Amino acid sequence: MSYDDQNIFAKILRGEIPNVTVYEDDDVLAFMDVMPHADGHCLVIPKEAAVGIYDASAEALSATILVTQKLANACKTAFNADGITIRQHNDPAGGQEVFHLHFHVVPRHDGVGLRPQTGKMEDIDVLVANAEKIKAAL
């Protein structure tokens, strides 16, 4: 599969679609998932155009996983989480829906399941407040 520069994450990287940014550096962008499975659910993407794990450069993978680790620690603190789920999907059969490499960072609490995907976007004020908690923990 070749990279489609019209995917939603490519548009976010170009500033064509707004996002609630949590972290950004020269190589990586992290932002709030607009349909979160839990409070604090965020996404970490390389700025490099890569469909998935197969075609990403070693440099992009390294930069992205290091930021994923940083965000996992910040989310655990910010949401007093008992654990963190890190997810990364490849190909439609693997559950990938947006064909730009990305990692999900999801704070988890004992005995609390993930919210189902309903297609309803979270209120922007909630996303901004959750992003501020994560930024404060960075």
HSE-up of residue 20 (Cα within 13 Å, Cβ side): 23
Contacts 24+ apart (CB under 8 A), 17-26: 20/124, 20/127, 20/128, 20/131, 21/131, 22/71, 22/131, 22/134, 22/135, 22/138, 23/67, 23/70, 23/71, 23/134, 23/135, 23/138, 25/63, 25/67
Residue 38 Cα to chain centre, angstroms: 12
**Active-site hit among 37, 41, 100, 102:** 102
The token pair at 78 is 């910010």
Known active-site residue 102: yes
Give the catalytic positions in this structure.
Answer: 102
